[in-house]
Chains A and B, each alone.
Chain A
């Protein structure tokens, strides 16, 4: 439906300036640039102060009015029962139209960036900006979002858009990065749902999250169809919850992904226990079985205890016990 009554002065030379119009809410849609933000504070603010900034308007591909900045304000106005919204329509230059274009996409991104986009909104913004513009403008639009074209981060944003739903929710909450979501894009819906459930239950740190999903992805690749879903739904992972959930999940996933290293670590723990080290004497070994160093720590209270611990440490270093810790994998 063309916006026929739309009073546009096409003779303007000042580009982005336009007129403020009162547009019925029923005829407005918003560009999908917002996700996972509660409206309550905004509703309260508009209720008390009124709308301080008008919405930005353009026309979508079918000629219908589209709010390109102010989607949340539009929703808040609707919740408050407003029937019309003040909208600012940029005034096109000569030969231009109000249809979404590279210029309007840039305008929308710039205005939306002012509120700080969460990870989900970054994905949405980049996805919408590309659809609303022509390819030659994409490097500029990517630059507005802080990315160089072709970078891993930008590719991750694109791939992340292939999976939405709970993935976008978790990204909006800061519990999933676009890189994680991009990796999940190659998974089956069942695998994805089970993995996201694990993330939601265990609340891993950013580093753990990245590692877990990579490890699970490795298992998926090596195990073939159905293997990962079986693991995620199996007893080692499905039942994990509670205060130690993150630690338990990490140990379980590590054990599945690195059975050789996990077994070595277990055998080393047993060997260390067999040494029956006295209290105050602690041996620390590289968890990756890679380093050449062994750290022996002494915690002592007086000269006598220091002497005893040092004597024990010397005996250890001169005997075979430490070498055995390194070579137990044979």
Chain B
């Protein structure tokens, strides 16, 4: 992954950080400046505001209650379906330099109970799971920042909480020697080989991701897999069957802590922007407007995709492996799994005190 960035811009206050090299001093920037950054830029800047936030869920859909530790935003992997660059208007990657001190302090205080109970996030149920990969790839900049290493160590001392590092890279070697205490899940976004090849241009190859997962599991890291986005394309059934077959061949079923599934969705206004920046055939499928204001495949198609992939997965995962849907209605849950856990039930899957806690 190193060497992929053209400019390495560092705001003056972070020039002293050990980030691999000195970087080019940059004047202070605000989010409004981000569109001015070009593809290939890496910016180290200050995050103003809380580093912790809940997943931006929608009440109409069941949410797993994921908590986000906000270390940066943007990604240069360049997936055609990704909304990040469309939101920000840039493929530049932004890392918050103060996440290494102020952010980790805030997280520690939070986990120690000072803010626990969701008082700052409303009254909805929250899981015990914290993730850095919602607005960026968790491991994309680890070789420079080392923040995941520090997070793994922090979470190893803070049961019942768990850390999720979500990635499309295969960069796990720097984490192998750490004492993670089983409190860190390394999760990989996976897809049909056709989609990986065509729509995820700078991600690690699917086999490389799964091999990295196997390597991490060899050092005891539980593994998560995200089939997200599931994409409707001619031959999708065979494509996802090949992916599940690869998983079965490369990964020990014992490794899997959970598997999620979510179908392709996007904000309507972003379609033109995403099309203009990354030509793709993804948008020619049939979509309807969902309850979260995003376009998604019609429910019958989603149900068929979920049932199909679930059927494939059940052939290879252990009974009891947590498989869940990301942002789906109770109706779809019932149609796919035969029951609707609701947000409380789904969140409970990711709490140590929940009915199926780790």
Contact = CB atoms under 8 A, between A and B. Distances in A.
Interface of A: 150, 152, 218, 221-222, 257-261, 264, 288-290, 292, 329-330
B239 interface: no
A290 B299 contact: yes
A261 B288 contact: yes
Given A150-B35, A292-B331, A218 B299 contact: no
Interface stretch (B43-51, B279-287, B310-318, B350-358): B279-287
Contact of B281 (A222, A257, A259, A288): A222
Contact of A221 (B284, B286, B301): B284
Given A288-B289, A290-B290, A222 B300 contact: no
A152 B284 CA distance: 21
A221 B279 CA distance: 10
B281 to A, nearest CB: 7
Given A289-B298, A290-B299, A329-B300, A261 B330 contact: no
Contacts of B24: none
5 tightest A-B CB contacts, nearest first: A288-B288, A329-B300, A222-B284, A292-B331, A258-B286
Nearest to A179: B272
A147 B331 CA distance: 44
B272 A289 contact: no
Given A150-B35, A152-B272, A290 B284 contact: no
Contact of A260 (B283, B286, B330): B286
A260 B298 CA distance: 9
B329 interface: yes
Contacts of B291: 290
Contacts of A258: 286
A261 B299 CA distance: 10
B33 to A, nearest CB: 12
B60 to A, nearest CB: 9
Given A150-B35, A152-B272, A288 B298 contact: yes
B298 A261 contact: yes
A290 B298 contact: yes
Contacts of A289: 288, 298-300
Given A218-B283, A221-B281, A222-B281, A290 B330 contact: no
8 contacts: A152-B273, A218-B284, A257-B286, A288-B288, A288-B289, A289-B298, A290-B289, A290-B298
Contacts of A329: 300
Contacts of B286: 257-261
Nearest to B284: A222
A150 B33 CA distance: 13
A258 B300 CA distance: 14
A290 B281 contact: no
Interface string B317-337: 000000000000111000000
Chain A CB count within 10 A is highest, among B273, B286, B331, for: B286
B343 to A, nearest CB: 15
Given A261-B298, A330-B300, 17 more contacts: A150-B35, A152-B272, A152-B273, A222-B284, A257-B286, A258-B286, A259-B286, A260-B286, A260-B298, A261-B286, A264-B298, A264-B300, A288-B288, A288-B298, A290-B290, A290-B296, A292-B331
Contacts of B272: 152
Contacts of B298: 260-261, 264, 288-290
Nearest to B329: A292
A69 B331 CA distance: 62
Contacts of B35: 150
